Every structure is written in C-alpha cells, then in structure tokens.
Amino acid sequence: MDGPIQIVGLGEVLMDIFEDGTATLGGAPLNVAVHAHQLLKSLDLGEGIVVSCIGKDEWGRHIQSDLKKYAMRLDYITVADKPTGTSLVFENQDEIKFEICKDAAWDSLAPSAATKTLAQRCTAVTFGSLAQRGATSRSAIQEFVSEVDGIRLYDVNLRRNTTDGEAGYSRSIIEGSCLLANYIKMNISELAEIGEMFGYNNARLLGEECIFPVMERLRREFSLRGVIVTRSRHGALFCDATEQITMPPCETLIKEVHPLGAGDAFSAGILFGLSRGWPISTCLQLAEAMGTWIAQHVSATTPLSSEIIAFARHQLPLERIEWGVKGTLQSSAHGSS
C-alpha cells in the first residue's frame, strides 16, 4: 500500500438532464472517480482520475469546470468534434429511465501513450458497458483495462433508451468485460438479465435461493476474485472463492429516494476499501453508507458527508493489524487480490 492510490473511472462522461431542466454532472465512471477522489484527497492518500472524451461545447466546458471544483486533473479528458454526452433522466421512485444521446464525444475515446502509462501504474480502474457501444471506444477501454495490474471492476450498468428500447450493451460486450475484470458489480435486475442471457436461469426474476448460485457461476466461469450485487433497499451481496456475504442495508431512513448515482457511490466505496486492503465486509459497509448518502440527493456527485470521511479515516490505523492464530496482534498488509 506504499505510494499514492490512483482510482480511474474509464468511459462515459455526460450531463444528466432532469425533467425540470436541472442539469448535473454524470456518467457512471466519472461519478465513481469523483467520489473516490473525495475520499483519497481528504485522507491524503491519492486521487481519483477520469479518462474520457468531451466535445468543444458548453456542456464540455461545464464538465471541466465542475471537475476543477473537486481539484481533479483533466489531463486524461480529450476533446473531440462530437457533442458532449447527455442523458435525459426520468425518475419514478426507485426506478430510473434514460434517453442517452447517440454518437457522443465519449464514443471517440482513443488510447494514447499517456493513458497507457496511467493504466500501468494505477491502483484500480472501473469501467462499464455503455461506453463500449462503439468500436473505437470499446477498443480503447479494453486496451486500457488489459494493462492494469491491480483492481479491475466491471460495473455493468446496463442502459436501455426509454423511447426506442435500444440497448447500450450486448452479450459480447458483457462477456468481453467479464473476461477483463477481476471484480464485477451489478444490481439484482442486471444479475437476472445476465443470468438469463447466459442460460444460468430460466426467468428474469430470480428467486432468493437462486441469487448466490448465479453469482458463483459467474465468478467461476470468468475466474473472478469477487461478484457484488446491490439490492437497493435490501442491501448487497458478495461472493468470492471462500465466502458469501449478505450485507443488510443502512438503517438511514430516506423520505425521498433519488437513486441516480447511488450505485456509483457504492462502487467508489468498494474500490477505496479494496485499494486499502480492507476486509470485504468493511468495504461493503463504507459502500452502503456512500450509496445511501447519494440516494438522498438529486445530483449523483453530491459532496460526501463528514461522517463518511470520518468512517474511512477511522479504519486507517486498523489496516495493518490482524489477530494471530494464538490471539496475539501481528502486523500484516492485507492484499487486495
């Protein structure tokens, strides 16, 4: 755990535009990087970095300005002759629907010597499905991830446009991404869809007794270190080669739920904890708190609470301590593999 941690969000950056005209910073990889950056900078441990592409337009300048407010570097955000990505967002209680622009700047994401160097030295990367809808960006993402020797989280984020039902993903994208990753994360409906797609289950709706078997089959088939499934108000699930964990939800009562970006904050918590070598149960605890916090706000990149920062800070002195076989304390660096 020596040296600064770099957690990379690789893929789409965009502006989320709500029905009332409100526009906020968005794009799953960007959201993850922003939240990871808040934790890392607050604790002087490193930084979150966005790798993407924007247009030469007002939205592109807006994104750059917002990232500067978080003191995030812009070195790895290129500019293309295409419009900056946008997503019309329709919220209905716990459900979100989208209308995502086509042929956006992020579809022109291309590799470079700088991104190759970053890939080889970063601690962790997260990537999804949407930014791989085009051949150019898909190739760039796959090349970057293949160079990362650390944590590679495929946060599947299956997106389908509301009006025409067009999917921003395919089976080949999902399979290729699972092969590149060492951790994958999805929500319960995405697990059901992938399970049906791969012939693991016969229906979209998984029974409670089927969830862990499908997760375990994914883990084994793609040689993953771990599989994570979020279940909104019902907490989260995790499995690896040695254990299955059912994480209860946070006890925080939310009067008005805004689910947009909650899963991305969850991912940032997981990546932060794994990067520090925390036990997965502690990673999940931080992730749940972060997801619950963002679900209380409209913007997916709302600044994290002081309580969340304090929780992460409290773990730091405990990271290298574990109980020995005979009950004596021993120094240890928990591996993230």
DSSP track, 35-89? HHHHHHHHTTSEEEEEEEEEESSHHHHHHHHHHHHTT---TTEEEESSPPEEEEE
Q: Is 147 contained in some domain?
A: yes
Q: Is 326 contained in some domain?
A: no
How do strand 46-55 and strand 77-80 relate by DSSP bridges? Answer: parallel
The predicted pLDDT at position 126 comes to 98
Q: Is 238 contained in some domain?
A: yes
3-state secondary structure at position 101 = coil
Q: Which two tokens stand for residue 37?
A: 């950056």
Cα–Cα separations (whole angstroms), residue 280 to 47, 80, 146, 293 = 21, 39, 24, 20
pTM for the structure as a whole = 0.91
Beta strands in the chain (DSSP E): 5-10, 14-18, 23-26, 46-55, 77-80, 85-92, 95-100, 124-127, 151-155, 183-187, 226-230, 236-239, 244-247, 321-323, 329-331
Cα–Cα separations (whole angstroms), residue 102 to 53, 82, 271 = 14, 10, 29
The predicted pLDDT at position 214 comes to 92
Spatial distance between the Cα atoms of 68 and 47, rounded to a whole number of angstroms: 13
> For position 232, which CATH number holds?
3.40.1190.20
Q: Is 262 contained in some domain?
A: yes
Q: Which two tokens stand for residue 61?
A: 């300048």
The predicted pLDDT at position 337 comes to 32
Spatial distance between the Cα atoms of 290 and 311, rounded to a whole number of angstroms: 11
The predicted pLDDT at position 249 comes to 77
The predicted pLDDT at position 78 comes to 97
The predicted pLDDT at position 255 comes to 61
Q: Is 284 contained in some domain?
A: yes
Q: Is 337 contained in some domain?
A: no
Q: Is 317 contained in some domain?
A: no
Query: What is the tally of structural domains in the chain?
Result: 1
Q: Tens of pLDDT along the chain (337 residues)?
A: 568 999 999 999 999 999 888 999 999 999 999 999 999 999 999 999 999 999 999 999 999 999 999 999 999 999 999 999 999 988 776 678 888 999 999 999 999 999 999 999 999 999 999 999 999 999 999 999 999 999 999 999 998 876 777 788 899 999 999 999 999 999 999 999 999 899 887 555 566 678 999 999 999 999 999 999 999 888 899 999 999 999 987 766 566 677 788 999 999 999 999 999 999 999 999 999 999 999 899 889 999 999 999 999 999 988 865 433 333 333 233 333 3
The predicted pLDDT at position 243 comes to 95
Spatial distance between the Cα atoms of 143 and 130, rounded to a whole number of angstroms: 16
The predicted pLDDT at position 250 comes to 75
Which single residue is written with the structure tokens 């209905």?
A: 92
Q: Is 334 contained in some domain?
A: no
Per the structure, the complete domain to which residue 103 belongs is given by 5-308
Q: Which two tokens stand for residue 139?
A: 């190739």
Q: Which two tokens stand for residue 137?
A: 């960006």
